Amino acid sequence: MKLSKRGEYALRALIDFGLAQELGRPLLQVSELTAKEGLPIKFLEQILMQLKAAGYLESRRGKHGGYLLARPPENISVGQVVRLIDGPLAPIACVSQTAYERCSCPDEEHCGLRMLMLDVRNAISNVLDRYTLADVVEVTMRKLRKDKVPLPFALEPLLARSSSRPKSAKRPKKLNGQSPAE
Amino acid sequence: MKLSKRGEYALRALIDFGLAQELGRPLLQVSELTAKEGLPIKFLEQILMQLKAAGYLESRRGKHGGYLLARPPENISVGQVVRLIDGPLAPIACVSQTAYERCSCPDEEHCGLRMLMLDVRNAISNVLDRYTLADVVEVTMRKLRKDKVPLPFALEPLLARSSSRPKSAKRPKKLNGQSPAE
DNA sequence: TAAATGTCTATCAAATTAATATGGATTTCA
DNA sequence: TGAAATCCATATTAATTTGATAGACATTTA
């Protein structure tokens, strides 16, 4: 029932982009991400490109380039991201809602394994398809603040003054005066 | 979130052993199983040996040998079987209850991904750890009967008269007069 | 004693996953 | 203008896992 590293990194990255946007600096460089999370940079690049191709991220090229969310986090379903990267949620193809495939058993309609795995699929979907990136970011932020953990993603890493505003900026959300970390 | 073929075959086999026991002929040969489910015989052999080593099955060697359940189906947790064959239920190791491992993220306690995946783990566990083999067999039997599907595992394949009784036989459960299939 | 079965271990092939490498295109800015 | 920093694109490889096959052996029954 594993989530692949690729899937893990993709979600970590998206969550970071969500946090970054919330904190007023939506644009992150690949190198910042790999530094914060300790991931192989070239591998992460591939993943970000895939997320971009799928419409989750957009990018700025050149010297002070980077990636940022292309859509409001409320609009990004965690389940869809997992499907993009790791394939269907269902443990076996014959119970997948999005990628059904007949399985080998002689009588699907009376297959005990299938009934069981359908329950599992639905259980997984009931989590992943209910949460959006915004939910995950929100609960993360809440927990960080509650425990007074320094928030990540300093407002200005070197210079990024002229970079664009978040696409669907919510109210700017005044933060408490934490010193940024890392 | 895949279940491996190995896990799939293991569960299919156990369900079949459960049905067979319920139908009064607990002992099945590997060849019968591969015939019914269409699986590679040598691969299934390995899996059955693993299930035997783990105490789920016992075996009879020699001419009219085969495998049968070693424990009452009520006592076989589907989740434990999946763990045996496919490893922990948790999508990532840092939320596993049975095989916890620290993950790469700098602050586990405030990791959004981790909170999310913990929910997924619990959702999966809430299905797989609640069902026993007996539950799966029962619902399968019920459905087969409701739809009047011929029940599998004829009482006497060739000769098996002298084979042992089921270990923890429940009431013999008079079946309706279906003709056996396959 | 021969046939039918499970037992055991080794090996292999294919697929998937994870990562690395290399060079190119674009932008910024000194 | 040109060098540095970044994203872009593709190819390659290394490691792991998965799925399966092979073959000799042991045991039981008829």
Q: What angle do CA B48, A100, A14 make, to 5 degrees?
A: 100
Q: What is the structure's pLDDT at B154?
A: 63
Question: Of A15, A92, A126, which has the smallest distance from its Cβ to B3's Cβ?
Answer: A92
Chain A CB contacts of B126 below 8 Å: 123
A3, two tokens: 């989530």
> Within 7 Å: CB of A61 and strand D?
yes
Q: What is the structure's pLDDT at B104?
A: 83
pTM above the 0.75 mark?
yes
Q: What is the structure's pLDDT at A154?
A: 65
Band of pLDDT at residue B163, cut at 50, 70 and 90: very low
CB-based contact, B31 to chain A, within 8 Å = no
CB-based contact, B37 to chain A, within 8 Å = yes
Chain B CB contacts of A136 below 8 Å: 112-113, 115-116
Chain D positions within 7 A of any protein Cβ atom are 3-11, 17-23, 26-30
Q: What is the structure's pLDDT at B106?
A: 87
Question: Lowest mean pLDDT: which of A17-21, B15-19, B66-70, B154-158?
Answer: B154-158
B27, two tokens: 């002992």
Q: If you compute the radius of gyration of chain B from its CA atoms, what whole number of angstroms results? A: 19
Longest dimension (CA), chain B: 64
Q: What is the structure's pLDDT at B138?
A: 98
B74 has a pLDDT exceeding 80: yes
B18 has a pLDDT exceeding 70: yes
For A175-179, which contacts have Cβ atoms below 8 Å and span 24 or more sequence positions?
Answer: A175/A23, A175/A151, A176/A145, A178/A145, A178/A148, A178/A149, A178/A150, A178/A151, A179/A150
Q: What is the structure's pLDDT at A105?
A: 87
Q: Is A138 helix (H, G, I), strand (E, B) or coil?
A: helix
Query: Per residue in B97-146, pLDDT tens?
Result: 999 999 888 899 999 999 999 999 999 999 999 999 999 999 999 999 99
Terminal C-alpha separation, chain B:
33
Q: What is the structure's pLDDT at A106?
A: 86
How many angstroms is C1' of C13 away from CA of B33?
25
Band of pLDDT at residue B166, cut at 50, 70 and 90: very low
Q: What is the structure's pLDDT at A46?
A: 98
CB–CB contact B113 A38 (8 Å): no
Contact B118, B126 (CB under 8 A): no
B178 has a pLDDT exceeding 80: no
Query: Per residue in B132-162, pLDDT tens?
Result: 999 999 999 999 999 999 999 866 544 443 3
Contact B169, B20 (CB under 8 A): no
Mean pLDDT, residues B32-40 taken together: 93
Phi, psi for residue A77 in degrees, rounded to 5: -85, 130
Q: What is the structure's pLDDT at B126?
A: 98
Distance CA B80, CA B43 (A): 21
User: Nearest-CA neighbor of A117 among B172, B16, B110, B1?
Assistant: B1
Q: Which residue in chain B is spatially nearest to A89 when comparing CA positions? A: B1
Q: What is the structure's pLDDT at A104?
A: 82
What parts of chain A have a pLDDT lower than 70?
154-182
CB-based contact, B42 to chain A, within 8 Å = no
For an interface test with A, the pick among B116, B118, B148 (most A C-beta atoms closer than 10 Å) comes out as: B116
Q: What is the structure's pLDDT at A5?
A: 98
Nucleotide minimizing C1' to CA distance for residue B64: C5
Size of interface A-B (CB pairs under 8 A): 126
DSSP B72-116: -GGG-BHHHHHHHHH--SSSSGGG-SSS----SSS-GGG-HHHHH
Mean pLDDT, residues B159-182 taken together: 33
Token pair 């015939």: residue:
B35
CB–CB contact A112 B37 (8 Å): no
Token pair 């959004």: residue:
B112
Q: Is B26 helix (H, G, I), strand (E, B) or coil?
A: coil
Q: What is the structure's pLDDT at A31?
A: 96
B173 has a pLDDT exceeding 90: no
Q: What is the structure's pLDDT at A153?
A: 86
Mean pLDDT, residues B85-103 taken together: 96
Q: Which residue in chain A is spatially nearest to B125 when comparing CA positions? A: A120
Contact B7, A100 (CB under 8 A): no
Contacting A residues, span 134-173, partner chain B, CB-CB under 8 Å: 136-137, 139-140, 143-144, 147, 149
Q: Which residue has the higher pLDDT, B141 or B167?
A: B141
CB–CB contact A115 B109 (8 Å): no
Contacting B residues, span 51-90, partner chain A, CB-CB under 8 Å: 78, 82, 86-90
Helix axes B78-86, B112-128, angle to 10 degrees: 120
Chain C positions within 7 A of any protein Cβ atom are 2-10, 17-22, 25-29
